[in-house]
A and B are shown apart, each in its own frame.
Chain A
């Protein structure tokens, strides 16, 4: 990396900046304010609004190249005849810039006056008033009167769907919204109609927007032309307390700025210059905050003493819980108690949750309630490089080739999707998407390659890619321990002939070979996977296959990891890190290793079990079979998240004690004996770890709802009632203990963690040794492929993420009710029309839903988003979501159901 800089003088202030810097950025470095409207840090320069005009000159030079000196001995400047736009001009060595010269001031005032020629100046009724860049700049640079007293041109205002309000009269045609929508969201939902002074931004057909409803167009609008309908006339910016915290809706860990008036969150916005996401937020992050103030929030513990759940005091509930736990542990042994959930908690709460479990003497603790098969606690870490410095979202966007495996990032990691789209648009990033459905990233617009994977062919595809990568030559950069597995792997991969792979996956061998070649030969590459692999019945094999592929293509090297796991929840990574898995202590330490156990035993004052406990699917079976008698479920609607609903219902009905910590009285909470009211992300402090393994602290924007307790307080109270001497005064106390005990977290502190905290990585050697190992496919074979019925594809969608989204009215409205999506041909084959009720029959149960057409769904499959309140996909039988076949038929009753 060259340290070359060029010298620029701005308003007499000399600074050195890298070549290629835009004048607006150089001016920021020189602490000179140059106003901008159309320029945006995430968009290429446009130069349209002209407000950034400055005067630019270069030193005049003689024929021999030496500078000409003026009468006073200073170099003479050859000024450009016209003022230049700073947002499009790049620096040159010796360049002199004046922003306050008479010419520059005159030009800027002229542009300012033009901007207001057709602006309605209706600030008193405009929602942008008080934070409007046009208002600020008019105040700073404009005149205090208007010479324009002709009639202004007018447009009719429009509601562009449920979130965007458009008032085109206020528009200054900076095109930020249109460009952001196209280049970063990849939606192309907005366009400019007409031309000249009649230019008007709208949707192409002037109908309500059918897009991701992210509202980023509102965010980037520098004036009040696009405003948020949910926030319409709710408050003025100066009414709001602004709290920067971390968005709870997925594992990307976006910073979000909550605007609070009184005790209510009125809006959420991006943070512009902080956080991984800058200004970006998705529809969930921007409009999904309203569950915090939902009326159905739990405001006190509930106890089932007789038949029904009844309100109880906190101390009473704690005492009851402790005595029942003690009783069950004494009677059936601590192994009859299991702790589930916790993927939505903060790191501190996750740490305490497993500490409570292990202090009680049980290792049956697992946050990964959606698993359909046992999975080692360090499997994901191993697949993502074993703790080597991980891929950041920023690096992801500047990669040359990215393989997205099985995940629809639109629902699972909207910001990661935006990063990839922006990378594709602006940095020439190439996408390869392996997914049964033609998900958004696989659309032709992004010019990537869609590997239309047949469900059940995941292992085959990964093996085929690995084989093709190996065919390109010896892999480089593997540590010796990993390379040792190469011969065995090479031999095993030989069985995966292109013909076999094509038969299983339905993907042409040439496409597989090309994808492997791109991944191997592109210098900057990345592999992204998510829950689709982790919740797969063959998860352990798939994660090993991902690791194989990563080593063979160089996405994993001895020093770095370019593999990213985009988990389902904000605390997914934290739960793994904090040992909310049955076979690993916090920091992925092996409980069988006495030396690893020792610091915890010393700190906690208990002897820890050395044997691994049961994983979530095992706990599910054991509880249904009566071997687990007490369950504590934290922040997880288990009846919906467990892979088999019938089993989960049986488990809850049979258990002697079910404790649920929740925000709402969910189905699972209804079946509990004790319900503890928890608090939402906006009401507590703590640390969350995002998919880049970045530690970020959340801030408390609101006082906790009266009667609700943080999970930290609940866990501590129960632990104390059980006799443990916990005395954490706050989350920071807990974190100090974590920072002392957990490798990777050592030396971190709360002070450094406001948005953009450090990313943890194991120092030196990997925390978990990598390996290359043959992966067999337990599923693929003629039997599986020839099965009848439709493949059930499930997955997350943007507007429905989990049970919290059920409490957000706007998201419910955007999600438009549950439907079963078929390809047009499939629907016809079934003799159904759009809107007809269709019955899906699985091995364990059935679902009735309206049918809908979605051309992203391949033939022979049905797509049912799992998170709709009225859809219980796990009723169809285990395993839900991955590798299940269902039968579809017309419902007996012909009446339309649902939407």
Chain B
């Protein structure tokens, strides 16, 4: 049974991770032809025409990004695959590489050829050790089969692929931090401009693409832009994999054409909510984006429609919050994540996430004050747009979105000194003998 039209078409075929099975399903078939017939510039043009947009979260047009790589530079160029999938609620790249590593390799070969890179790196998040083994095995297979190495598929194009395991920092999903980490430095974002396409890894032109983005490339180059545009909308063509979590009947990864309404995803594909649960809010694009209240469930899942609804498509990590979930509690959880993962480079993110987590903890403990909601909103607003990289925005937007849509829950916390919907926290607290030791400076 096919789970999706493109990347998920054959995803559940047993043994797909092996070269044999992958080839049996048509893998690497078009590779030699594309390499022979299409010049790198042609490839970039086709990808541009396909309207493929980055699947990592920001949605930047992939072809356009590739075209930024300077043509006449003596420096080597690099292709880096961003497989540091750390966005809470997102688990698509993991399944994609685990089950179909050769599609990624094929995509990287084509992308590297298009930008003129002879070395490619796959930066995997630190927890993906077993995926690294799968991918390494696939790379070895492909190299043995002459698909990688000094002569890719019999052409004079050389490509060597390497995998690199991160050390477990969310920030390394940000492309410049990823590059710093890959170079062996502290994983912190760098100043842009210069953008990586001009000055990236080891100060050489570098393209950083998400796993899903790269996996879309072979199909587009084999079948053309028009073929790809049969899915999705005018401005958001193609399909997207949504990672659905929360109390739905069938959580998991779903590949759907862009533009499908959120309700369709939840009700038809995920089988609706589990019995006894009702949707309260949905975070459509990983924990970094503002939540959508239940009233906006009909919003189409594409870049433009979600922007219009005040949120983002992001990485496609759809987190469903049910009516028993306390928004303040959920938000505290998310904010603690950002406090932990802030790299500490810039002030607003480093200090702001700490402060927000402290205020949310106070609200959650039932010690909130009247001024706290405004304070929280203002602190988030002071982070938004002032931080060095989007991590600060990612921490601020859920807070501001939650306050906008669910202000009465925050107010309930302040006035009743407890949560309206969820007693779990109180029960846990009661179990704990003493409150967390407060550290006070001299």
A residues contacting B by CB (< 8 A) are 45-51, 53, 81-83, 88, 106-107, 110-111, 113-115, 117-118, 120, 122, 147-148, 150-154, 169, 172-173, 175, 192, 194-199
Contact = CB atoms under 8 A, between A and B. Distances in A.
Given A48-B347, A114-B351, A196 B339 contact: yes
B387 interface: yes
Contacts of B191: 45-47, 88
A172 B386 contact: no
Nearest to A116: B351
Contact of A196 (B340, B358, B387): B340
Interface stretch (B17-25, B97-105, B406-414, B433-441): B433-441
B442 A195 contact: no
Contacts of B351: 114-115, 117-118, 197
A122 B442 contact: yes
Contacts of A148: 355
B346 A49 contact: yes
Contact of B355 (A107, A150, A196): A150
B388 to A, nearest CB: 6
Nearest to B358: A150
Contacts of B440: 151-152
A864 to B, nearest CB: 38
Most buried by A among B345, B359, B362, B382: B345
B344 A114 contact: no
A114 B347 contact: yes
A85 to B, nearest CB: 8
Given A122-B441, A169-B441, A199 B388 contact: no
B186 interface: yes
A82 B441 CA distance: 35
A81 B341 CA distance: 26
Contacts of A118: 351, 354
B290 interface: no
A196 B341 contact: yes
A192 B438 CA distance: 25
9 contacts: A50-B346, A111-B347, A111-B386, A113-B382, A148-B355, A173-B345, A175-B345, A197-B339, A197-B351
A49 to B, nearest CB: 5
Interface of A is mostly: loop
A83 B341 contact: no
Interface in B385-406: 385-388
B362 A197 contact: no
Interface in B330-355: 339-348, 350-355
B347 A172 contact: yes
A194 B340 CA distance: 10
B347 A151 contact: no
B169 to A, nearest CB: 7
A199 B440 CA distance: 18
B226 interface: no
B340 A50 contact: no
A50 B386 contact: yes
A438 B302 CA distance: 61
A50 B381 CA distance: 15
Contacts of A46: 191
B385 A82 contact: yes
Most buried by B among A49, A88, A115, A195: A195
Given A45-B191, A83-B386, A118-B354, A110 B348 contact: yes
Contacts of B339: 196-197
Given A114-B355, A173-B350, 6 more contacts: A110-B386, A114-B350, A114-B352, A120-B441, A169-B441, A197-B342
Given A49-B346, A88-B191, A151-B440, A117 B386 contact: no
B375 interface: yes
Contact of A197 (B344, B375, B386, B442): B344
A172 B350 CA distance: 10
Contacts of A151: 358, 438-440
Most buried by A among B343, B348, B350: B350
A207 B356 CA distance: 34
A73 B290 CA distance: 41
A114 B382 contact: yes
5 cross-chain pairs, A with B, having the tightest CB-CB distances, nearest first: A110-B382, A199-B344, A150-B358, A114-B351, A82-B385
Contacts of A88: 191
A50 B387 contact: yes
Contacts of B362: 150
B342 A83 contact: no
A50 B392 CA distance: 12
Nearest to B341: A196
Contacts of A197: 339, 342, 344, 350-351, 353-354
Contacts of B355: 114, 117, 148, 150
Contacts of A107: 382, 386
Nearest to A108: B386
B366 to A, nearest CB: 15
Contact of A51 (B171, B345, B347): B347
A463 to B, nearest CB: 36
Interface string B354-382: 11001100100000000000010000011
Contacts of A192: 186, 344
B194 to A, nearest CB: 12
A169 B351 CA distance: 13
A48 B346 contact: yes
Nearest to B378: A110
B442 A120 contact: yes
A122 B441 CA distance: 9
A118 B186 CA distance: 23
A47 B193 CA distance: 12
A49 B438 CA distance: 27
B386 A82 contact: yes
Contacts of A173: 344-345, 347, 350
Contacts of A147: 375
Interface in B149-196: 169, 171, 186, 191
Nearest to A49: B347
Given A152-B439, A197-B342, A50 B350 contact: no
B165 to A, nearest CB: 18
A50 B354 CA distance: 17
A851 B337 CA distance: 54
B392 to A, nearest CB: 9
Nearest to A170: B441
A117 B441 CA distance: 12
A101 to B, nearest CB: 15
B166 to A, nearest CB: 13
Contacts of A150: 355, 358-359, 362
Contacts of B375: 147
Interface string B185-214: 010000100000000000000000000000
Nearest to A88: B191
Nearest to B437: A151
B355 to A, nearest CB: 5
A196 B439 contact: no
Contacts of B345: 48, 173, 175
